Structure 1
């Protein structure tokens, strides 16, 4: 993760970046987790992003799967499929694997 440049990764040949223009919730990335299905979860300054390699999904404050706060500082993918999200306002548990 970066402080304003999204998330960068090495594809084996070159460095690539994913930003809010690609679907990432925010370009300040505080935390990254990968679940047992290989899905990446990014904690950003504008919510939580889920990326399965093809499509993005954003979880934000006040949304249908709302977070307590949009500043996501910690993400943990539990083997049960639950995603635990640490924000400035507290902890949110997403029962994503249910």
Structure 2
């Protein structure tokens, strides 16, 4: 599906649910440094509509995220859809 296989050593389903970043920073000793997110609103296709239980063409928020450690290595890629009734975004920008 993706051109690169991204791996986090020792990651288990339990750690993924309870705190991936805590594992990366506390166990592996890496600092989570940067996450780049793009949020768009777009109509969902038939396959996603079926999975979400909505009609094709219904608008949803697509969140694409790439997260990098302090070494510059990308360790996370997320491509998620959220329906408007569930979607919420809070942005804090610090310079």
Length-normalised TM-score, structure 1: 0.27
Length-normalised TM-score, structure 2: 0.28
Larger RCO (alpha carbons 8 Å, 6+ apart): 2
Instruction: Compare the two structures and name the one with the higher helix fraction.
Output: 2
Instruction: Compare the two structures and name the one with the higher strand fraction.
Output: 1
